[in-house]
Amino acid sequence: MGRRRGCVCVMSGSVVVVVGAVARWLAQRAVTDASSFSVRGKRRSLPRDNFAATSVVNVSSEMPRTGSQGHGGCGGLGGSTGGSSGSERTPRSRCRTPHRGSDPLAWGPSASPVVAQGSLQGSPRHPVTPLPPPERALCLLIAIAGHAYAFHIVHLVSREHEEELHAEFELEKGFFAWGFKKDPTDFEWTFWSHWASSRLLWMLLGHVLLSQLFSHSAPQLRPWGWLVYGLACCTALLGARGAAVVLAHALASYAAAQLRRPALCWLTNLGLLAGLQAAHWSHTQGWYESENEYFLLLFTLAMTNLRCTSFSLELCRQADPPCPSVPHHPRPPAPAQQTDPSPLTQGAHPAAGSSLFWPLVYTFYYPPLHNGPIMSYCDFVARCERPVSQPGDVRSGDPQMPRLPLLPLLPLLPRLPWLAVRVAAWWVLAELMLHLGYFSVLHQHEELLESLPSATLACLAIAHVSFFYVKYLVLFGVPSLAMHLDGVQPPPLPRCVSITHGFSDMWRNFDVGLHRWLLRYVYVPLGGSQGGALRQAVSCGAVFLYVFFWHGAQAYLLFWATLNWLGVTVETGLGRALSSTPAERLSLGGRLSPLGQRRLLGVIAGASTAMVILSNLVFLGGTAVGAVYWDRVFLQGWPWTTLGVLSFLYCCAQFGMDWDQAKVP
């Protein structure tokens, strides 16, 4: 009886994931239909620069080609732990797979896919042809049913081998889900759940209350409140020595920036990052009573390194003297009105100057301090002073949706329950998944993994990356909620990996903030797509080399980063081969109708997404796990298992393209 109820819950959970995505898509489509033409025209008129043509990113061509211009954040680095489970994985290995980032030719969340310089996704001017309604409904049905079936199979396997897994890995006693045991081997979920339940949530609540108090009574002192409170929390959690190390990293980066040499800023911050991986750094573990406190210091310093790199490079770009008003009046004046408020089209905030005050506020701003999401320095400073009356979507930044006001807290109450309930629902769903399906522990038991049928392995892969997505909805959703309440709009939340269409789309749409960070500080300064295919490949390779180094510089991470670089490069080349113009090459000389072109895109995107999931399994489980999946699903599983997976991902890709088209102005 318990098993039957468990199966129902697993299937219900998977339906919640997909149906929730459908609901957000329909809501976004309704908003898009209501948007004014003038707003659409402004967004569409911006010139762009492709990151990997099909690709991982796009940047406005108006952005200066200097070392610090170009918001980036390739979805892969940024704020949480992750990495493989098992012997290859260490907590320093940060979990940000090529997952959510910004759209190739548009930074904003409502940017649409394009067919330009090799994109395979259609464009605002040349949107992909919609599927007939029956075919669209069939794809959606298969996508939902496929996820539900995958969770059902994983649940059955978990129950069948529960005693064996418990004997070797000591499953925890679950606290709900009808007495089922819980998989405790997903390090980052266990780690952040422990800290959230003990202290982090209380400190985050204290930040929100303090920020609202300053906003209501003394807005000009609010940045000072953020700085002091962040330092106090950092000291309480990491100890005086840990907080001093974080402050020392910020001061070292600030000092390097005073020489206005981007190369020196990079050397300083890469040296600090390398120091976290040096063997002698482990002596700091003696500062703490538990290993968890030591790991929290490492994760905080890894995120601090991204912020320090950002503000130091931005300060290098500023030739103006420090703003004289900053020491006496820490609020910089509001930025000039722009037709496109996207951070990608804004330079460094002119009032930020080179004073130490705003870099420290940016570094110790508490909601994203330990785990992200990451924002660039100039974006953060500009958002701090965004007028309260400006509109902005709570989740995606759409200009037609009402934004949460800053003052006072009372007007927030009608929306607070809905936002909080969404985050709580994601948390409950993630916990339910860990009780009913042992994703992580199955990947650590290699003998059992190799003995499973190929179709079961395919279901385990789909279920695991879906859990990965839900996990990051929680890990990013909680601090994002606090940032919304402060009026500091965070990057959009992740997008489910299985409905992305390729490596490029995954890196754009899983971790938007990191994706923008990488674009702004690595990809664009190295030339991006402006120097031809070879230079674009080199720039993209540098991005993934940094991703590898930031995550921990372990062997399996190098393999994972290389897979992603090859995937993006191949997609770029294929996109260019198929589309010099949207109508000619993509139609293969006129032999394919527009509807046939759409289906061809789905086939290509489905195959690419299969490789995306394989690379994510390398990231989550290590190279040995990736080799098992490659051999059993794609080699031994040919033809039926392989074709079944590709057919399922074809349907998911079609839904993903419909999702994107709903955002086309």
Contact 182, 434 (CB under 8 A): yes
> What local confidence, expressed as pLDDT, does residue 118 receive?
37
The label of the residue with tokens 């081969």 reads 577
For residue 477, pLDDT beyond 80: yes
What's 565's DSSP letter?
H
Beta carbons within 10 angstroms of residue 523's beta carbon:
27
Contact 511, 373 (CB under 8 A): yes
For residue 5, pLDDT beyond 50: no
Contact 454, 637 (CB under 8 A): yes
d(CA 175, CA 431): 10
State the angle between helix axes of 133-160 and 640-661 in degrees (0 to 180), rounded to the nearest 10: 130
For residue 31, pLDDT beyond 50: no
> What local confidence, expressed as pLDDT, does residue 386 receive?
55
- As a whole number, mean pLDDT of residues 509-538 equals 91
Contact 254, 354 (CB under 8 A): no
> What local confidence, expressed as pLDDT, does residue 124 receive?
39
- As a whole number, mean pLDDT of residues 433-442 equals 92
d(CA 348, CA 257): 14
Provide the pLDDT confidence category of residue 102 given band limits of 50, 70 and 90: very low
Provide the pLDDT confidence category of residue 268 given band limits of 50, 70 and 90: very high
Beta carbons within 10 angstroms of residue 201's beta carbon:
12
The label of the residue with tokens 């700085």 reads 227
For residue 260, pLDDT beyond 60: yes
pLDDT tens per residue, range 107-123:
233 232 223 333 344 44
CA dihedral 548, 544, 504, 44 (to 10 degrees): 120
Host H or E run for residue 206 = helix 201-217
First-to-last C-alpha distance (Å) of the chain = 50
Provide the pLDDT confidence category of residue 646 given band limits of 50, 70 and 90: very high
pLDDT tens per residue, range 376-431:
998 999 888 654 433 333 333 433 333 333 444 445 556 667 778 888 999 999 99
Indicate the length of the chain as a whole number. 665
For residue 288, pLDDT beyond 90: no
pLDDT tens per residue, range 192-216:
999 998 899 999 999 999 998 998 8
The label of the residue with tokens 């040349």 reads 126
What's 107's DSSP letter?
-
d(CA 95, CA 141): 31
d(CA 259, CA 255): 8
Contact 490, 375 (CB under 8 A): yes
Average pLDDT, the chain: 75
State the angle between helix axes of 640-661 and 594-621 in degrees (0 to 180), rounded to the nearest 10: 110
Which residue, among 193, 103, 185, 94, has the nearest Cα to 438 in the 3D structure? Answer: 185
- As a whole number, mean pLDDT of residues 40-55 equals 32
CA dihedral 644, 647, 653, 658 (to 10 degrees): -130
Cα dist from 140 to 9, 289, 501, whole Å: 20, 51, 15
For residue 371, pLDDT beyond 70: yes
Which residue, among 442, 498, 531, 431, has the nearest Cα to 471 in the 3D structure? Answer: 431
Residue that wins the pLDDT comparison between 476 and 124: 476
Contact 603, 416 (CB under 8 A): no
Token readout for 39 is 């707003």
pLDDT tens per residue, range 547-594:
999 999 999 999 999 999 999 999 888 877 766 555 555 455 557 788
For residue 665, pLDDT beyond 60: no
For residue 630, pLDDT beyond 90: yes
Percentage of residues of the chain with pLDDT beyond 90 = 49
> What local confidence, expressed as pLDDT, does residue 407 receive?
42
d(CA 326, CA 250): 18
Active centre residues (catalytic): 551
How big is the CA angle at 564 (ends 376 and 276), to the nearest 5 degrees? 55
> What local confidence, expressed as pLDDT, does residue 6 receive?
44
The pair phi, psi for residue 309, each rounded to 5°, is -60, -40
Provide the pLDDT confidence category of residue 642 given band limits of 50, 70 and 90: very high
> What local confidence, expressed as pLDDT, does residue 359 receive?
96
**CA 13 from chain center: how many Å?**
22
Burial of 476 (0-12, 13-18, 19+ CB in 10 A): buried
Provide the pLDDT confidence category of residue 310 given band limits of 50, 70 and 90: very high
The pair phi, psi for residue 173, each rounded to 5°, is -75, 125
DSSP characters over 559-613: HHHHHHHHHHHHHHHHHHHH-SSTTTGGGTTTTS-HHHHHHHHHHHHHHHHHHHH
